[in-house]
Chains A and B, each alone.
Chain A
């Protein structure tokens, strides 16, 4: 009996070991297996982050190539796309007037405005999914706050919510960070615009001295506009804008 008991104990241990190994293997090979109540699904932060991550990256890519604008107002059509003027004068022989003195702030506002519906949708998805799992989810209206800092885009989602099942947990806000070097690119854009507005032109090779990873392309168009594309060839991010300053009329008219 004792032996049987011992054998039984061994069998139980073996079974437990097999189960544990199976679970471990399952986690290893199927990392997306969702077990209710684990830390990932129980945390709305991760859910929303994975939900909006793609949108954020796409948005950054698209907006930055348009100077942080979804639909620029004062722009030039270049290669079939609207490139916003950050500094512009219609006159000749005159330095430009800065059209956007707050490049970073405007970009952040655009991100907040455009991202808000998709984040709200993510929150709704989260609510729906967790309600389907028996949770009671209470959410308030979401507010977004996007900020660029060196190397990152920080998004603060202020969306108070309460999750209740057995216990209740309340969240006030969620902080997200997305890798981005756009802060530096926008700082350079602002610096270039400073030069354009004061001197009518900028000497972009000087920036090489300070920012080895940065490439600045300047294309001069016939009518006097310049298209600047600042890119970080490590991260691949690009920021594009236009300027028209200290323009000479295009030759004497015949």
Chain B
């Protein structure tokens, strides 16, 4: 009978074990694998990022017990570079193990930045004059280009200016201008002083035009053109006059027709000869202006008030930038003369709002961002952000990157007619938000403030406050626009599950029996608000938890379990109704652009610094908007140790209300002070009071009664104990004084006389406490309420697949898959894309089989039938402490649930099966086999074993599940536990410590539950002086084992610490009280002799860093740097020494953000700042090594820009030589050719000039002088600035300076 009871107890414990181990295996695996992040490889930037990403979501993939497609070595080895891939791409990096199969050449075992031919720079084509940024040296050379080691085109040859050629103005390099001039065989003027494209284009519109009058077939005709063309056709040029000008007496008659002009936006008059005249307007006389050219600015006004086209019928002065351009008049439009009119380029959006030409705005497929009232992120699974643009009267819809990897941000400015929106797709920094939670030193008391501060600075993050009760509340930095998850048939899934698992939290409800009523802590955790608060967090992390898809279809994806096996409160209907509304977009809602400058640096993307600024010009506003809103961003992904985040209020002690007071004095001390009767009397009373108080306090604590009493009763009992003790003490003191011949004073005598009363009080108090204990006062009942946040799953089936694309937005794979489990996209990237139900007639459940390829070595699947199998080891029963990995295979993707008892249908199954709850064909379970004794089955029979069965059902994507349960049977045998525990792992892994530390928190991981001790010298376990704190419960098991922790003192810069452990803590003489874990009680099952102890110590060595980390001089610092190209590129180099080994990660501070150098984790960290403008650059720099040594420095330098051509300061003739002195270092050339009629002698290119001899300082330039000649001199400085192709630095005309 007793045996049967034990068995039932064991079964019950085992069920709890299953609940804890199998159900939450994922979360604890995640937790464990994310706790200790290894910095994998900082050699390469993207691997730095990926390493950090992996630290957060992927590291567990490479952790123990997992099978991965990638090898750990891939990360350690970094990446290989392939010069030409099999699919024709140059300079790509591939993971070491994959490189050979992808590369058409031999893979180079290093990152591409270490391969010379793959180094990005600027490729300059010396023939065409074109430049290409970011081109590799190899590709550049192969295409006949000249390669420069600056990937941002900040070189002289690529400096653009305004090329005025053939009546057009183009913003080109000088060589491009030359090349076009040469190919078109027409003259050009290159204006290097014009610095922006818009200024250049403006120059194109103000070129000198006029009437070119010539004779043709005995008639005086005319062509409206520029002077150079007129000279070619040998006409007479009349600048600023129209061909129909009466003064010119040509055959051309004015204003005969109207038309548009290629390259111009306005409607123009045309004369009878077909020449363009002034901008159309009526009355005609106004625009004819007596035959003079009328500029655009002096022409008619098209707009009136807020109406840009108010005068379109009489005025053709269209303005493209303001939303009008010339076009043929259409139905409904009226124009006074002709068939052409200024066409409205604005659009009407889907909401009926007028959008201006060039305006862009965001559209969404549901509510976005944070519901501030509910404090949760609400972007729905399957939804995407879109950017719409009004261009030339048509609306273009451009999707941002799917899975909300990009968000659409918008900014609005006031214009006369209302508001003008500018929108852009930019990278969503969602993953960065989560990473903030894992940053910083866990012991740093300001850590949570620092996290909050970072979170609030990132425009894509918000502080998610979880506030269930006053003992269960915490903050997490969460994304405002959570990323979506892909759904791959055989994807690993750990990344997504790891993110959702952040919301896997346990709330402990405690009920303590009181004297009059019970006390409850965290009772809200049993209410729906726990589920709702936790689901708010869950859905704010990604496509997690219970939510609706973008179509408004709801699925439930959370689970709450209670350790008392009672039903858990689920979310309310009101809560659910609020969720359903998120499927609808909110009119006028958009995401803010935010300041993302810190991101530029993270990915080595140009940004701006210090006081240096972009030069002001007319495009500034547009550029600023573009830089604010464009998606030029990246993200930092940090390693995680999430579950170590401080969550206040999660622990509760039933004894918390009882204060412990020091017990003063002792009997020995009393005898010492006997020489002074007064003192002795007072000491006796105090000692008695203290003893009485101590006894009552200990009793309250030991019995646990104190936790159930109101504070007033507790304090009353403690006071009674103190008074009783004082009276008893006084009596004892008086008795002692009398016995030694002393004198008893009146006060002491009075108190002494009440001595018996004191004893009575003490006895009564003790009896009262014992009675309370018998009544069960103070007994605590604890219930752990566990919330499990699952990945959001689409509804089963595929009835809504055809909804994809019906909302007017393009259908994507992500959107399609969110509509149903069997929805599949077809014809992707074609015009015939569609979302279909891939399995509309499926009525058969999945067939379950053991996954033969997956089982821990030494184990097998036996007795396999269609209804189940048996798991066995080579010895038959499963051996305790084995991490058994096994699995089942399905004939189609499905998800599986299990139960330890018979059930009727899939919905009745309570526990998830396997490490993933996603639809898979293969499901893996990790089963840490427990010890029978830990399950409560005592016995010393080596043949003791217990049989267990698990019942499995799996459901396919169409919702079909197996009717008959699939049984997994196994037995657990007695542990052959004659072996001492093994310490398997340690934290920190590195033996190096920060310089100047006085102690270090350490963890060790043991292969079985154990008690561990340490000492600074190697000695036996029993003699070791320091106990470690060990977590030995079943659920405390981690992948690395059971954890024991302590803090080691550090002295003299290093230390060796010896650790030994003793297993089977449940056999110890004393074990923790069930009621209060802080109290140890005698163990009725104690059997110390059965416990195994280490005979050898585990050596834990620690070593302090040799010195502080130091930043050696930063280059540049305190210098003035002069450049001829704007923006300038400057490489900042920071060298570090000291610390752990001199290597460090350096970062710079900008806009309150700390941004890592692109090339760091070395002794010399480098960062190129490539968009520096004139001004002062101040760059605070912080370097930190692997063990936390920090050093700070600063780079401060000035950027000076030389944009002027050199001037000639002096010209003279000396010894028959013409000498010029330039105001800066320069080279000078001259042309002494006699210019053609009508052309300036300065009209030659610098390269075609005759060189003058320059002295060593570069300032004096000379050539032989002939007084009959005219010298057209041009000088060029070291930055390539010259006066331009039509100008000279100086002209010496027959001996005189012109």
Contacts and interface: CB of A to CB of B under 8 A. Distances in A.
A236 interface: no
B399 A220 contact: yes
B92 A96 contact: no
Nearest to B124: A101
* 3 nearest A-B residue pairs (beta carbon): A197-B134, A73-B88, A251-B403
A197 B406 CA distance: 18
B918 A254 contact: yes
Given A92-B46, A200-B634, A220 B358 contact: no
A215 interface: yes
B130 A93 contact: no
B401 A224 contact: yes
Given A94-B603, A210-B201, 8 more contacts: A73-B88, A98-B120, A197-B120, A213-B263, A246-B603, A253-B492, A253-B496, A254-B487
B116 interface: no
Given A200-B605, A251-B814, A253-B495, A79 B831 contact: yes
Interface in B160-210: 166, 168, 170, 180, 183-184, 197-198, 201
A35 interface: no
Interface stretch (A7-15, A56-64, A147-155, A159-167): A147-155
B144 A102 contact: yes
Given A90-B94, A102-B143, A251-B484, A97 B830 contact: no
B133 A98 contact: yes
Interface of A: 72-75, 77-80, 85, 87-106, 147, 149-150, 152, 154, 187, 190, 193-194, 196-203, 205-206, 208-210, 212-213, 215, 217-222, 224, 233-234, 246, 248-254
Given A206-B622, A212-B265, A253 B488 contact: yes
B405 A250 contact: yes
Interface stretch (B145-153, B468-476, B1138-1146, B1258-1266): B145-153
A212 B90 contact: no
Contacts of A72: 88
A102 B141 CA distance: 10
Contacts of A206: 622-623, 626
A102 B392 contact: no
Contact of B135 (A98, A210, A233, A246): A98
A101 B605 contact: no
B634 A101 contact: no
Contacts of A89: 92
A250 B812 CA distance: 12
6 contacts: A79-B831, A200-B631, A205-B358, A246-B631, A249-B405, A253-B493
A93 B391 contact: no
Contacts of B603: 93-95, 200, 246
Interface in B405-459: 405-406, 424-425, 427-428
Interface of B: 45-46, 49-50, 57, 85, 87-94, 112, 118, 120, 123, 125, 127-128, 130, 132-136, 139-140, 143-145, 151-153, 166, 168, 170, 180, 183-184, 197-198, 201, 262-263, 265, 320-321, 325, 358, 360, 389, 391-392, 396, 398-403, 405-406, 424-425, 427-428, 483-488, 491-493, 495-497, 499, 542-543, 603-606, 619, 622-623, 626, 629-635, 791, 812-814, 828-831, 918
Contact of A254 (B145, B491, B633): B491
Contacts of B398: 218-220
Contacts of B814: 222, 250-251
Nearest to A201: B631
Given A200-B603, A218-B398, A222-B402, A97 B144 contact: no
A177 B135 CA distance: 31
B622 A209 contact: yes
Nearest to A79: B830
B25 to A, nearest CB: 17
Nearest to B135: A101
A130 B488 CA distance: 68
Contacts of A248: 401, 403, 405-406, 427-428, 635
Contacts of B135: 98, 101, 197
B1261 to A, nearest CB: 36
A198 B389 CA distance: 24
A96 to B, nearest CB: 7
A98 B123 contact: yes
Given A200-B605, A201-B630, A210-B201, A253 B427 contact: no
B90 A200 contact: no
Contacts of B127: 105
Contacts of A218: 398
Given A149-B180, A194-B134, A252-B486, A102 B120 contact: no
Contacts of A220: 398-402, 425
A149 B197 CA distance: 19
A210 B197 contact: yes
Contacts of A212: 265, 320, 325
Contact of B619 (A101, A209, A222, A252): A209
A79 B360 contact: no
Contacts of A90: 85, 89, 92-94
Contacts of B629: 203
A99 B606 CA distance: 21
A208 B120 CA distance: 29
A154 B183 contact: yes
B316 to A, nearest CB: 16
Contacts of B402: 220, 222, 250-251
Contacts of B399: 220
A150 B136 CA distance: 28
Contacts of A254: 485-488, 491, 493, 496-497, 791, 918
Contacts of B495: 252-253
Contacts of B92: 88-91, 97
